[in-house]
């Protein structure tokens, strides 16, 4: 598949090769119905039309069976509409190159590093390591979402995250440049508006809501009021079961389900008054998805770019990587790095990881080979 564009025009043209008869016939029928121009040969086709109509074809979950593979490839090939800047309460973050989000869990029961950074001193030491190894954002979380996790009372979550955020912001003070070359942006990983407000007061610039504004109706309004950057992650269920397989049934397939439910999260954010420029989307790898569904989601990640917002992925040390590699959580950083590089190829811009070093190196190569 190759692409040509006419400068300054919205129309795109693709040369499709190695197509069988069934795919050619379906392409003529489906493309015509969508108002696309289709010219075919023995095993090839020229496909042209407005980007919006091509995007309607690039949906594997609605395509005829003979066009599913082509539709997925077209989704990867279409240029994204997502911006190269992300507005947060602490300024703009440039997304023209990979951005690493370092995980700083301050919980006693996280699946990978529970209890290791539960004190302020330990958290500060870990923050310094994450920044040294390439993280731009530190994501501080005080409530585990591992399978079977018990929801944490507000007071306890506040006691865990606020002192750490205050200490990190004080230690790694960032200048007021719109795109700083040094320092750190702090994100709070919470579903609770009370915790988010206290975190923003302490210096956080971003709210990472793994519920996609489902669990606390007040959280959206708070983010709008404070101008916070917002990560909307796809998940189902509550904190205690969203990482289980209880909600892993997707009637029209995982790609269609995740896309539609992220679109719903975007609608909730819009109703709350949050500007689109402040939103990043996370497909929620490992949350309510079987190992096979996680692989399918990574393979088809480019289809989510049609939502028009930057994509963040968090494959770090997830169970599906363990299923693929037969490695324990702490041994999955190379698999995580490979997943991040593949996700960059599909259009992801931000990468949430436990160990930035391996991911940084993999993404440096991926972004040099395939700049976006």
Burial class (CB in 10 A: 0-12, 13-18, 19+), 33: exposed
pLDDT at 73 over 90: no
Burial class (CB in 10 A: 0-12, 13-18, 19+), 291: middle
- What is the per-residue DSSP string for 179-190? S-SSS-EEEEE-
pLDDT at 110: 56
Taking the CA of residue 365 as centre, how many other CA atoms within 13 Å lie in the half-sphere pointing to its CB?
10
- In the chain, where are the structural domains located? 2-77, 85-369
% the chain with pLDDT above 70: 91
Instruction: Report the mean per-residue pLDDT for the chain.
Output: 89
Measured at the alpha carbon of residue 234, what is the angle toward residues 204 and 344, in degrees to the nearest 5? 80
Candidates 192, 198, 239; CA nearest to 219 is: 192
CATH topology of domain 85-369: TIM Barrel (3.20.20)
The b/e string for 126-136 (b: 16+ C-beta within 10 A; e otherwise) is bbeebbebbbb
| Residues belonging to the active site | 318, 352
Cross-strand pairs, 104: 140
Q: What is the CA radius of gyration of the chain?
A: 21
pLDDT at 342 over 70: yes
H-helix or E-strand containing 367?
A: helix 356-369
pLDDT at 147: 74
Candidates 59, 18, 14; CA nearest to 36 is: 14
- The predicted model scores a pTM of 0.81
pLDDT level of residue 115 (50, 70, 90 thresholds): low
Per-residue pLDDT of 280-310, as tens digits, reads: 999 999 999 999 999 999 988 888 887 889 9
Does the domain made of 2-77 have the CATH classification 1.10.600?
Answer: no
Per-residue pLDDT of 128-162, as tens digits, reads: 999 999 999 999 999 988 777 788 999 999 999 99
Contacts of 360 (CB under 8 A, 6+ apart): 98, 100, 133, 134
């Amino acid at each position: 598949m190759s692409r040509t564009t006419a400068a300054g025009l919205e129309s795109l043209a693709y040369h499709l090769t190695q197509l069988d008869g069934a795919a050619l016939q379906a392409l003529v029928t489906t493309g015509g119905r969508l108002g696309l121009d289709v010219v075919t040969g023995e095993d090839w086709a020229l496909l042209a039309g407005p980007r919006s109509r091509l995007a309607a074809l690039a949906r594997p979950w609605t395509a005829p069976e003979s066009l599913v593979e082509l539709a997925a490839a077209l989704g990867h090939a279409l240029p994204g509409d997502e911006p190269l800047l992300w507005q947060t309460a602490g300024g703009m973050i440039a997304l023209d190159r990979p951005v690493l989000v370092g995980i700083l869990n301050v919980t006693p029961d996280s699946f990978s590093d529970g209890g290791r950074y539960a004190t302020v001193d330990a958290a500060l030491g870990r923050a310094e390591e994450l920044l040294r190894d390439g993280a731009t954002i530190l994501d501080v979380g005080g409530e585990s979402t591992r399978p079977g996790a018990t929801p944490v009372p507000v007071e306890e979550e506040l006691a865990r995250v606020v002192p750490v955020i205050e200490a990190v912001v004080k230690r790694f003070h960032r200048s007021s440049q719109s795109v700083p070359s040094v320092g750190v942006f702090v994100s709070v990983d919470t579903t609770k508006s009370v915790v988010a407000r206290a975190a923003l007061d302490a210096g956080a610039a971003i709210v990472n809501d793994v519920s996609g504004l489902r669990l606390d109706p007040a959280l959206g309004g708070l983010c709008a009021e404070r101008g916070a950057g917002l990560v909307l992650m796809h998940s189902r269920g509550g904190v205690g079961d969203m990482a289980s397989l209880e909600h892993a049934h997707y009637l029209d397939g995982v790609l269609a389900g995740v896309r539609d439910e992220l679109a719903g999260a975007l609608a909730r954010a819009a109703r709350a008054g949050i500007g689109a420029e402040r939103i990043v989307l996370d497909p929620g790898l490992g949350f309510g998805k079987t190992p096979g569904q996680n692989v399918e989601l990574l393979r088809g990640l480019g289809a989510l770019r049609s939502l028009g917002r930057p994509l963040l992925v968090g494959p770090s040390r997830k169970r599906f990587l363990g299923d693929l590699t037969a490695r324990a959580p702490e041994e999955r950083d190379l698999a995580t790095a490979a997943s991040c590089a593949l996700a960059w190829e599909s259009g992801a811009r931000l990468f949430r990881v436990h160990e930035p070093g391996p991911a940084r190196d993999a993404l440096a190569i991926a972004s040099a080979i395939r700049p976006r």
